[in-house]
Amino acid sequence: MALRAGPIVIASHNRGKIREIQDLLGPFGFDVRSAADLGLADPEETGETFAQNAVLKAETACRACRLPALADDSGLAVDALGGAPGIHSARWAGPERDFAQAMRNIEEKLQAAGATTVDKRQAHFVCVLALALPDGKTETFTGTVDGTLVWPPRGEKGFGYDPVFLPDGHERTFGEMSAAEKHGWSPGGPPGLSHRARAFAAFAAACLSPVNA
């Protein structure tokens, strides 16, 4: 599914996600807009998987504006909590998107479960990107990154659960990393560190060409 440079909609109102996807799209020459910019309402996320919710958001935005739409559904899956919060990661932050409280809630549940050692605090960030085109075609691309959860939170960069997620093989949380460190991806290079960068690398390999290629 080749995608030519031109207008593309990021089907999100989450400013952190929009910023990260805009950065990743940078080398490809797109005129990037967001659902928030266009005044598109968020659909109710009724899917039971990341992929289902990503497709729902992308196809809803694509139908509304008749432009290619790229949607992300992502979240944190904690082994000791049976994979929670998973697809409900944003909902754990409540209507005010209070991720500081969401991180406290996870820590309280980990403590209650006796998950106090590194081997019991394993977690995974998962991202599915869905691309929906006006011709009716939709494809999905998945990226994951493994790590452990730290407490207390460390760092003020990134967003969401980044300050408590320590990716395997690293000494700093996502909340302590710059955008370049967190993503670590460029066209033709390794797939990157973050779950979103890894999903985007798969999307780019299948669909995109840099503007100077």
72, 73, 162, 168: the active-site residue? 73
Q: How many CB atoms lie within 10 A of CB 120?
A: 14
31 tagged catalytic: no
Environment class of 140 (CB within 10 Å of its CB; exposed 0-12, middle 13-18, buried 19+): buried
| Other Cβ atoms closer than 10 A to 150 | 16
The answer to whether 196 and 127 are in contact (CB under 8 A) is yes
| Bridge-based pairing state of the strands 122-132 and 138-149 | antiparallel
- The amino acid sitting at 28 is F
- What positions carry a catalytic annotation? 73
